[in-house]
Structure 1
Amino acid sequence: RGHKGRRISKLSAKNGKPLSQNEEEEELKKVEKRINAIEKNEVEKAKKAEKEREAAQRKNAEPEPEKKQNVTIADIFRASKLANPRRERYKERDVIVFDFEPAPNYKPKKDYEKLFGKVAGAMWIDPTDKQVVRMEARLVDSYKIAGGLLASLKKGATFVMEKDYVNNEIWLPSVAEFNVSVRVLLFKGIEANQRTTYGNYKKYETSVDKDVKINVGEQKKP
């Protein structure tokens, strides 16, 4: 398994002995460098796909319908600069924690992507499964929708996402919490606080039984 289909290995011991602090820091830097390289590659692939889509639109002279805007952690990765890697224990697992902040060279192509360049915080990554298992994010600058005509989010909004390691085999969402102050149209600002918890995951196993019928024809006599 690996980050976005890419395997990332990390040395945890040498000659049967734990790594020294300097060696551990070097390994963390290697993991950070590899993750950044993968994210950079994802950005290049996205740019290439966008160019191909635009070329196809010009060729057909028909605008393609706008795809649904699904916000993912990968969007935050592309807009951020990772720093200060360190090791911690989370949910009885060894994880690597990174601080992140807006990347100075990030250039959003669409209006809603500007939000990702205004977010900072920290993320906890399982180095074995290459999963972001916890994230704390905050809005470091106000974000306006349609120039503030429709709505605007005030600086300081926070978001927390957590996952649990279910059945000791897979990370699944456990908590999602956000606190925001938003102004909609010309109305007075609204404070919104919501916490959603997930759980009681169950593992199902299915099997398919098929009845096979064999028709044996009569043997013809010579």
Structure 2
Amino acid sequence: MKIQVKTLAAADAGEIELSDAVFGKEPRLDILHRVVTWQLEKRRGTARGARERSDVQRTGKKLGNQKGGGVARHGNRAAPQFTGGGKAHGPRVRDFNPGLNKKIRTLGLATALSVKASEGKLMIIEDFALTEAKTKSMIAILAGLGVTNGLFIDGTEVNLDFRMASANVPHIDVLPAMGANVYDILNHDTLVLTRAAVTALEARVNG
């Protein structure tokens, strides 16, 4: 699959050949659903578990007489109503990381990239080199490219000036190739890759 390469100034910069094994997969909604669900589950935090009655070490000696004291009957200091007693129905530690096979995660990434390519929402840029790290300049560049909601993925490292210039632009996110993931790709209207990002992603999927 060949696709046109542009510069940040929206000028033509040749073509690039995309691997069908990475950008030509058939849409698999079941795979995308599994990977996105795994990502969202993995990012969930769990509550710190509280000590319940069986976890508290308190005396089991009866506090007083069964009758005649004028107060309620108690048989254990670990009861929730006492200071230092166990928590009644307290938060418990839960595991929100279901785990997912690496092969499925890799297939999900390739499928997400293929979906963007098939929908015509994939754009290849020569590189993200800027002359100045100015938000105003970035807004002008985005207007020239026609991108209002996009995920920009660079190679091993993101160009620092580009990252700084785009930091305050809404609906624009920048990631290195290693940080590319299914959720962020599907969560943006346009996917913008550099030549270096294409090489890194193909190596990541095929490796």
TM exceeds 0.5?
A: no
- TM-score if structure 1 supplies the norm length? 0.20
Greater share of residues in strand: 1
Which entry has the higher C-alpha Rg, 1 or 2?
Answer: 2
- TM-score if structure 2 supplies the norm length? 0.21
Greater share of residues in helix: 2
